[in-house]
Amino acid sequence: MELPPREVPEGLSAAEYYELGIKYKSMGWTEQARDALILAQELEPESEVAKVASRFLKTKLPRFPVPLLAEQRNIEGFNQMALGDCDGAKETFKSLIREFPDFEWPYGNLSVLYLQDNQTKEARDLLARALEINPDYVNGWLHLAAAKGMDLDFTGAKECVKRALEADPTDNAAIAMKNALESVT
């Protein structure tokens, strides 16, 4: 995948800004994603593109602007996780939470590591904090659903998925989890 430009370019259409916002988010570049999605909304405020850009902003990006250092360290922790350095990733995310307590992504990422170790209480506590910061954080709701499912609390897991789908009815992971939970219970 080709890297998007570091600076959000000028002169794109609303749809192009929306697509660019999604690319930026996939890179972990939260503020470029935010800027691109806001431009998509501003260019065509009454359009479907503006509506989906608004939903993406609310449910997939951090609620508050993220300093570049925090963004870079979160990417570092994510890369550590992907390379199997779970202990290093845990330390990176714990440090991020201490230094940037209003940035919900490190809570979610650390919770995934705790879930891998069957530490569901620790994961649930982290996710409760992340969802206090951003009640529309879809991944937070889905991770919490996974934690509740691991604890065999399927009613609680379904409620979490319901909350995720209320925030974003089009989220594929939430739809898949809803279907999986319906087949289990």
pLDDT average, residue stretch 91-119: 98
Q: What is the DSSP string of 76-135?
A: HHHHHHHTT-HHHHHHHHHHHHHH-TT-HHHHHHHHHHHHHTT-HHHHHHHHHHHHHH-T
The pLDDT tens digits for 41-87 are 999 999 999 999 999 999 999 999 999 999 999 999 999 999 999 99
Sole residue written with tokens 């602007």? 65
The CA distance from 184 to 140, in Å, is 22
Residue 1 has pLDDT above 80, yes or no: no
Q: For the chain, where do the domains classified as CATH 1.25.40.10 start and end?
A: 68-184
The pLDDT tens digits for 144-168 are 999 999 999 999 999 999 999 999 9
pLDDT average, residue stretch 104-121: 97
Alpha-carbon distances, residue 143 vs 63, 85, 134 (angstroms): 17, 20, 14
What CATH topology corresponds to 68-184? Answer: 1.25.40
Question: Is-contact 110 90, C-beta < 8 A?
Answer: yes
Structure confidence at residue 185 as a pLDDT band (50, 70, 90): low
Residue 136 has pLDDT above 90, yes or no: yes
pLDDT score recorded for residue 184:
79
pLDDT average, residue stretch 100-126: 98
Count Cα neighbours of 55 within 13 Å in the Cβ-side half-sphere.
14
pLDDT score recorded for residue 20:
97
pLDDT score recorded for residue 3:
83
The pLDDT tens digits for 2-47 are 788 889 999 999 999 999 999 999 999 999 999 999 999 999 999 9
Average per-residue pLDDT for the chain: 96
Count of other CB atoms within 10 angstroms of residue 150: 15
The fraction of the chain above a pLDDT of 70, given in percent, is 99
Question: Is-contact 78 108, C-beta < 8 A?
Answer: no
